[in-house]
Amino acid sequence: MSTKPETRLSRAIREALLVDHHVHGALKADVSQAEFETLITESDRPIPTWMSQFDTQVGFAIRRWCAPVLGLAEHANAADYMRARLELGASEVNRRLLTGSGIGHFLVETGYRGDEILDPHNMSWASARPVNEVVRLETVAESLAASGVSAHAFPDAYVEELSRATAHAVGVKSIIAYRYGFNFDPNRPSHDEVVAATETWLQGVADGAAAKVEDPVLLRFVLWAGVDRGLPIQLHTGYGDPDLRLDRCDPLLLTPWIKLIEPKGVDIMLLHCYPYHRQAGYLAQVFPHVYFDIGLGVNYTGVQSETLIAESLELAPFSKILFSSDAWGPAELHFLGAALWRQGMTKVLQRWVDSGDWSESDAVRVVHMIASENANRVYKLQGAR
């Protein structure tokens, strides 16, 4: 393995305190290897016996980057890794990986399987870093459904409940990508449409269905309520689990809606975007209120994330790109999000500096913009701390 001499640029990247603008909690409890493997893939299917999820880019990256944090040699095998993980215990593993990540501020989205992972308070405790909350729009609706709200009261009740739920939040999140896709009618649905869709939905819940919001009218209603709330809106785009139709998660399909809400003055944060990150870069160039990150894709492409990072630095102004890990569960994903970003940025930017294409000062400025300055500005984090 070659070790490169440290430069002003590589030191700046190594020391940058990152704002992870879209992340979830770390696991509360110890997990077996079988459970762990289900948490390092976006597949929700049982893992076939003839394969291991460690034989993936993310699996190799965990063994290379996280093994030393747990006291093992780089590339320790999966069994040794899992043994060390259990011996240290969940909270020590979380502490080491979260504090070792160099993430300085977590914006935690709390809407998914919250009982298995650390809540924002405990994430802050485990990482010794400030945490702010991002509220999932659909989850607020789903918890209202459980409260016995009537269909007629729902629209106003949702707005009120969203206001309450986001009182201390720095952003909201939509998963319309998962639940429907971006080929939705971009216009705000009428009050009557919303009430009618709510009636059908609540009747289903009364009949025993899960309270999952899937009706496009309701998804659009909560999205527009998010616009009215005025906080930055995060949208899952691109790659995710098999629930979504990936071709309907191309952020370009959002263009009509992006134009429609432009006068509202809210910022749109396109999350992940893989494999449509070049398309996201275009949107971030031409629309002042559009930003993006390549979070999830960086973790799951491991060493090849260097290429993704380079491709994310094409059309978008550097003031429109953010860092995220999109980690959920194993703190390895929080750690890796940062480690792979640092490694990829170092390789890509150092190459551009070495060839004389970028000055080192410019490269360092860009690092700080993406690492934290853009997020601090958009989410107004200095005030929020």
Sites for a second copy among residues 316-355 (CB under 8 A): 316-320, 352, 354-355
Please select the residue that binds a second copy; options are 53, 174, 237, 372, rule is CB under 8 A: 53
Return the range that interacts with a second copy (CB under 8 A); candidates 126-134, 157-165, 308-316, 328-336: 308-316
Applying CB under 8 A, the span of 41-49, 93-101, 172-180, 215-223 interacting with a second copy comes to: 41-49
Considering only residues 279 through 298, tell me which ones interact with a second copy, judged by CB under 8 A. 279, 282, 285-288, 297
Of 3 and 147, nearer to a second copy (C-beta) is 3
Residue whose token pair is 């002042």: 288
**Contact call for residue 122 and a second copy (CB under 8 A):** no
Give 8: exposed, middle or buried? Use CB within 10 Å, 0-12, 13-18, 19+: exposed
Q: Which two tokens stand for residue 47?
A: 């893992």
Question: Is residue 245 a contact point for a second copy (CB under 8 A)?
Answer: yes
87 binds a second copy (CB under 8 A): no
Is residue 89 within 8 A of residue 30, CB to CB? The reply is yes
Q: 138 vs 250, which CB is nearer to a second copy?
A: 250
Say how many residues touch a second copy, by CB under 8 A: 72
Q: Give the nearest distance from C-beta 26 to a second copy in angstroms.
A: 23
Smallest CA-to-CA distance from 23 within 335, 241, 338, 326 is with: 326
Residue that has been written with the tokens 């689990």 in this structure: 241
Q: Which tokens in the block code for residue 326? A: 């999109």
Cβ at position 30, least distance to a second copy in Å: 24
Q: Is 39 in the site for a second copy (CB under 8 A)?
A: no
Nearest to 40 by CA among 56, 16, 27, 64: 56
Q: Is the bond preceding residue 48 a cis peptide, omega within 30 degrees?
A: no
- Nearer residue to a second copy within complex by CB, 95 or 277: 277
- Give the residue with the Cβ less far from a second copy, 33 or 304: 304
According to CB under 8 A, which one of 30, 60, 112, 214 is a site residue for a second copy? 60
Taking the least distance from each CB to a second copy, the nearer of 142 and 306 is: 306
Amino acid at position 278, single letter: R
112 scored as a contact of a second copy (CB under 8 A): no
Determine which helix (DSSP H) or strand (DSSP E) holds 364, and give its type and residue range. Answer: helix 360-368
- Distance (Å) of CA 374 to CA 207, 294, 321: 46, 15, 7
Dmax (CA) for the chain in angstroms is: 66
User: How far is residue 47's CA from residue 376's CA, in Å, rounded to a whole number?
Assistant: 40
> CB 95 → a second copy: shortest distance, Å?
26
151, two tokens: 């269909």
Give the N- to C-terminal CA distance of the chain in Å, as an integer: 41
Name the residue with tokens 């989205």: 109
Residue 184 Cβ vs a second copy, minimum distance, rounded to whole Å: 15
Determine, following the binding rule CB under 8 A, whether residue 11 of this chain makes contact with a second copy: no
Using the rule CB under 8 A, give the single segment among 27-35, 51-59, 110-118, 200-208 that binds a second copy. Answer: 51-59
Closest by CA to 30, choosing from 71, 83, 98, is 83
By CB under 8 A, residue 265 contacts a second copy: no
Nearest-approach distance from CB 127 to a second copy, in angstroms = 26
Task: Verify binding: residue 115, a second copy, rule CB under 8 A.
Answer: no
- Closer CB to a second copy, residue 150 or residue 361? 361
Closest to 338 (Cα-Cα) out of 174, 173, 119, 127: 127
